[in-house]
A and B are shown apart, each in its own frame.
Chain A
Amino acid sequence: MLFFRALLAVAMVLCGLVILVRMAQALPAGGFAVLPGIVLGAAMIALGVHRLSLIARVRGMM
C-alpha cells in the first residue's frame, strides 16, 4: 500500500514537472497567460514531495 502511494506521489511530481516544462516553453508566446499553469505545476510538485516526505517519515518509523 505504501509502495503504491509512493508511486502515485512520484507520478504527481512527474506530471507537475511536465506541466511546468510545457508552460515554460509556451512562455514567449503566452506571456502572462501561462502563469496559472506554472502555479498549477508547482502545486502538483509540492503535493507530490509533501506526500513523499510523509511516506519517508512512516518508513523511518517502521
Chain B
Amino acid sequence: MAAGSKTAEPELRRSVTPWGSFSWGYSDVGADIFVGLGLVLAWAAGASNVAFLFAGVVYVCIGLAYTELAATYPVAGGGQYFVMRGLGDIFGFVAGWAVLLDFTIDVTLFAWTSVDYTSQLVPSLVNSVHPWLHFGVVLGLVVGLCLLNVIGVRESTTFNGVVSALDVISETCILCFGFLFAFRPQLLVHTMQMHWPSSYDLMLGTSLAIISFVGLESISQAAQETQRPASIIPRTSVSLILTILIFALAYSNLALGLHPWHPITDAAGHPQQFWQIFPNNPDNQGKAVALLAAQVPYYGAFAALYVPVLGAVLLLISSNSGVFGSSRIAYAMSTSNLLPSLFARVDRKFRTPVISIVFFSAIAVVELIFAAAPALFPAVSSLYTRFFHGENGLDFLADLYAFGAATSYSFVFLGLIGLRLTDPLSPRKFRIPLNVPMRFRGERVEFPLIAVVGFIGIFSILMFTLFTHPLGRIFGPSWLLLGLLFYLAYRRYRRLPVLRSQPRDWRNAQTEILRRAGELELMDEYVANVKASDARRAGQGT
C-alpha cells in the first residue's frame, strides 16, 4: 500500500471551513433560482410550484448521492470521476463531457442573466431594446472572466462567503415580508386551479426547473479542498440541499399567490397577476427575483435598489465558476486519459491551465453567438421561428443547460449504484438512506433504493427535455456525439482500450486519496477492510 508514500506533485488542498464549504456550494447552486424562476413561471404557469417540487425531490436525491460520493472519494473530478470509477472509462467520459457542456453554458447563461439583472437599474442594457449592447456587455464579461482565470485571479472563499451570507439574509427577508404581507393562500389555490398548464408546458416547465438545482459539482470541488471532508461535507451538504430546496419552493409558491404591492396591468390596462408578466417576455424572465422583490410590501422599496446588484454579483460568481470548473474538469479528465494531455498543460508563467480555459471559454462565446443571433439578426429570428418554435436566446441556453445536467446526473446515479456494488470496502461515513443489504461477488453490499428513485426522476426530466426543447434535442445529443467520436479517435490514436477501461489500481488510489484528505482513520479502516477481504478470499480459495 502507498499509505505512507510521499508525492512530488503540488497539492491543491487547503483549509476550507464548514461555512466556506457551504458558501462555495451556495454561490454556485444558490444563483440558479435567479435564472430558473422566471423561465419556469413563463411555461409552467399555475403549476410552477409543482414543477419545482418534482425537480426539487429529484435534486434532493442527487444532492444526497453527491454528498455520499464526495465524502467517500474527495477528489475534484466530481461526477465524471465517480462514473468512471463505477462504470468505466467511456461512461466517465460521457458524464464528464455533459458536465463540460453545462459548465460552458453556465459561463454564458449566468453572464447573460447577470446583465439582465443589471438592466433593472440600467434600462439601456435591456436585451430587446439594445440587443447589440446587451451582446457586447455579455461578451465582455465572458472574455474578462477568461482573462482573470488565465492570469490566475479567483474570487476568494471569503468573498464567496460574504456574498452568500448577504444573499441568504436578503432572500430570507424577501420571503418573510412576502409571506407576511403579500401572500394570499386562496390566490395560490385559485391560480393553480384556473391556470394549470397543458401537459406539454408542464413537462417543459419541469425540465427548466432542474436548472435551479444545477452546480452540485461544487460539492466535490469543495471536498477536494476541505480538511476531513468525510466529516465536513455531509454536514454542509445537507444544509445546502435543504436551503436551496426551501428557497425554490418558497419563491414559486409566493410568486403564484402574491398580491402585488403595486398594481400590475397588461398593455390594454387590464390587471394582471404577478406571474403573468413572465410568459412571452424574455426580458422579465431573466430578472425574476428582482421583479418579485420589488413587489414585496415595505421591504420592496429597499430591495428594488440592491437585489439587482446582489443578483448580478452572485450570477457573475456562478459564471466564473463555469470558467474555472470547466478547466478543472478537463484537467481531471485529461489526467485520466479521457481527454488529450493538452488540457492538463499548465502555463509556466501564470501556472494555470491556459489552453483549457481559453478553449472552453471560446465554446462559451460560440454558444453566446447562437443565443444572441435571433435578437441581433432578423433573418435568424425567422429561422428560429420556423424550425425551433421561436425559441429565444435565454431558452436556447436553458435548453442545453437542462440537457447537460439531466444527462450527467443520470450517469451519477448509475455510478453510485456501480460503486456500491464494486467498491464495498471503501468506508462511507455518510450513506444515502433506504438501502437493501445483499451479497455481490462474495462481498456484503448495500443497494441504494434512493439512487433508483432519483435515476427514474432525472431520466424522466431528460426525456421531458428531449421532447419539449426543439433546440436542446438537436444541439445536446450533437455535443455528446461529437465528443464521443473525438474520444474514440483519441483512445485509438493513443493505443488505449477504446470501448473498455484502462486498468487502474483503485486500491492504492483510494488509500492515497484518503491520506491526502487527512482522513487517516478512514484510511486505516479501508486498509483493514482490504486485508480482511483478501484473507477471506484466500481462505475460500484453499
A50 to B242, CA, bound (A): 10
Chain B residues whose C-beta falls within 8 Å of the C-beta of A39 in the assembled complex: 53, 56-57, 249
Q: Which of B193, B238, B249 contacts A33 (CB 8 A)?
A: B193
Q: Are A37 and B50 in contact (CB under 8 A)?
A: no
The binding surface of chain B is classed by DSSP as helix
Q: Are B252 and A36 in contact (CB under 8 A)?
A: yes
Given contacts A26-B189, A29-B189, A30-B189, A36 and B242 within 8 Å (CB-CB): no
Chain B residues whose C-beta falls within 8 Å of the C-beta of A50 in the assembled complex: 238-239, 242
Chain B residues whose C-beta falls within 8 Å of the C-beta of A33 in the assembled complex: 188-189, 192-193
Closest residue on chain A to residue B176 by CB atoms: A15
Q: Are A40 and B246 in contact (CB under 8 A)?
A: yes
How many chain A residues touch the partner (CB < 8 A)?
19
Given contacts A26-B189, A30-B189, A40 and B250 within 8 Å (CB-CB): yes
The reply on A7 being an interface residue by CB < 8 A is no
Q: Which of B52, B193, B238, B239 contacts A36 (CB 8 A)?
A: B52
Chain A residues whose C-beta falls within 8 Å of the C-beta of B250 in the assembled complex: 40
Chain A residues whose C-beta falls within 8 Å of the C-beta of B189 in the assembled complex: 26, 29-30, 33-34
Chain A residues whose C-beta falls within 8 Å of the C-beta of B49 in the assembled complex: 36-37
Q: Are A36 and B243 in contact (CB under 8 A)?
A: no
CB distance from B36 to the nearest CB of A (A): 15
Q: Which of A22, A30, A35, A44 contacts B53 (CB 8 A)?
A: A35
How many chain B residues touch the partner (CB < 8 A)?
22
CB distance from B412 to the nearest CB of A (A): 22
CB distance from B243 to the nearest CB of A (A): 7
The reply on B23 being an interface residue by CB < 8 A is no
Q: Are B52 and A43 in contact (CB under 8 A)?
A: no
A46 to B244, CA, bound (A): 13
CB distance from A11 to the nearest CB of B (A): 10
Q: Are B50 and A40 in contact (CB under 8 A)?
A: no
B-side interface residues toward A, CB under 8 Å? Answer: 49-50, 52-53, 56-57, 185, 188-189, 192-193, 235, 238-239, 242-243, 245-246, 249-250, 252-253
If A34-B189, A43-B245 are given as contacts, then 13 extra A-B residue pairs at C-beta distance below 8 Å, sorted by A number, are A26-B185, A30-B192, A32-B50, A33-B188, A36-B49, A36-B50, A37-B188, A37-B249, A39-B57, A39-B249, A40-B250, A46-B242, A47-B246
16 contacts between A and B (CB under 8 A): A30-B185, A30-B189, A34-B189, A35-B50, A36-B53, A36-B249, A37-B49, A37-B249, A37-B253, A39-B56, A40-B250, A43-B249, A44-B246, A47-B242, A51-B239, A54-B235
